[in-house]
Amino acid sequence: MTWRRFLQAGSLLLAGVLVLHGFFGPDFAPRNLATLAVWVHTRGLLVLALLAFGNAFCLACPFTLARDLARKLSAPVRRWPRAWRSKAPALLLFALVLFVYERCALWSSPPATAGLILAYFAGAILVDVNFKGAPFCKWLCPLGQFNFAGAALSPFEVAAKDLSVCASCRTKDCLRGRRDEGGNVTLRGCETGLFLPRKVGNMDCTFCMDCVAACPEDNAGLVLRMPGAELVDDRWRSGVGRPSERPDLAALSVVFLFGALLNAYAMTAPAFALAERLSFGLRSETLTLTVMFTVGLVLLPAAVLLGAAALSRGSEPLVKTALRFSPALIPLGLGVWTAHYGFHFLTGAGTLVPAVQAVVEDLSGFEFLGRPLWGLGGLSPMAAQGIGQGVLALGLVGSLAAAWRQGQGLKASWPWLLVCAVLWGAGAWVLSQPMAMRGVAVG
């Protein structure tokens, strides 16, 4: 779709600017567009877009445009191996990005941030010029998995407008693409394998709108729906299957929440004190972070989930109960991410203006946009924290409602209600701590 290509081209151009400024701009992170735009502004806008619209980043993804251009030179012929069709690799990459973010202090390193952007482009191109469809988006992209989980709370969904129209369809253009008389694809269908009449929710949906363009009956579009409804809907769905039979989707829900808590906690003074104690006198930051991530993303979540499942299950297997209730953690997880990223975005919202002014001045030699206003900032930390606590409370309400609905009453749901309340308390405490103003100049 032309308008989507326009968005992708714009984001690709922006990515190029960020890479160049990351490598050749000032080393001081708060004045470099790479660190400032990526770690302060883009992350804040990302979570706000998820709540207001849905998977907006994937809609305008520059990596997809780059791989489409590369495919003109080398068309893929292989299919993604069935044994690799799991979210596990993407979750490992997601945890790795969080780990590297802390270990390499990406927020303070413009060259490292630029390198991460280039690595993303390289990964998308390398995978998708070798395999058909969109395997990088569906199975490997850490940012994509973040968007898929968060979009469960979106008020919009790409869906069929009238299922009776789909019932008479024989070509399945929304899935296979539209073809001419010679059998050549003129408009591609869904590359992540979602058949609209049997699609439920936003999991694996990149909002590419290819299905909308391919539908010959104009029966596909962006429709309003109840945010979070898919979290308690265990129907078999196209491209996904039954959520309660997908351990990797449960792991995505868990990592989405615990990764949010760990990422926010790592920026607080208590985390620095804990890291000092965990170093065991070895002064090894890598070892300390490895211990923190193993506990925070593996051991603690496993204990919490299996413990709650043991208390709430009836006659079904323990793991089945854990898989069924795990999506209820997503609203609270999005609440933590939004409160955390929103804090940095709100306190540093104005900092992008002087950085852009400085870039224009450096490139042109003239002050076309005026002298850089380095004093611009945003809301006070106290005001941003207050807003964040309100958002976190809304996330708690969403998780409590999902857990209650999934348990169909207090008898089965009370352990999960307790888990949500305890994790909300942990998040509220973390977000109330003085937080490092990463990537933003103080004073």
Q: What's the average pLDDT block by block, 10 residues per block, for the chain (443 residues)? A: 86 95 92 93 94 94 94 92 95 96 93 96 96 96 97 96 92 89 83 95 95 93 94 94 95 97 91 74 78 94 94 86 96 97 92 86 75 83 94 98 93 95 97 74 48
| pTM, entire model | 0.93
Residue 187: both structure tokens together:
């408009």
pLDDT at 361: 81
pLDDT at 442: 46
Residues 325 and 190 in one domain: no
Residues 94 and 175 in one domain: no
- Considering the domain boundaries, does residue 442 fall inside one? no
Residue 177's domain comprises 156-226
- Considering the domain boundaries, does residue 441 fall inside one? no
Q: In whole angstroms, what is the distance from residue 119 CA to residue 102 CA?
A: 18
- Considering the domain boundaries, does residue 235 fall inside one? no
Residues 132 and 194 in one domain: no
Residues 248 and 337 in one domain: yes
Residues 16 and 146 in one domain: yes
Q: How many domains does the chain have?
A: 2
Pairing mode, if any, of strands 178-179 and 185-187? antiparallel
- Considering the domain boundaries, does residue 73 fall inside one? yes
- Considering the domain boundaries, does residue 438 fall inside one? no
Contacts of 199 (CB under 8 A, 6+ apart): 158, 159, 160, 205, 237, 238, 239
Residues 103 and 191 in one domain: no
Last residue of a domain, one of 226, 255, 286: 226
- Considering the domain boundaries, does residue 231 fall inside one? no
Residues 145 and 172 in one domain: no
pLDDT at 443: 45
Residues 166 and 251 in one domain: no
Last residue of a domain, one of 226, 259, 286: 226
Last residue of a domain, one of 226, 254, 278: 226
- Considering the domain boundaries, does residue 90 fall inside one? yes
Residues 265 and 369 in one domain: yes
Contacts of 414 (CB under 8 A, 6+ apart): 311, 312, 407
Residues 135 and 210 in one domain: no
Name the 3-class secondary structure at 221: strand
What letter represents residue 73's amino acid?
L
Q: In whole angstroms, what is the distance from residue 33 CA to residue 23 CA?
A: 10
Residues 141 and 209 in one domain: no
Q: In whole angstroms, what is the distance from residue 115 CA to residue 103 CA?
A: 15
- Considering the domain boundaries, does residue 443 fall inside one? no
**Number of CB atoms found within 10 A of residue 30's CB:** 21
Residues 247 and 303 in one domain: yes
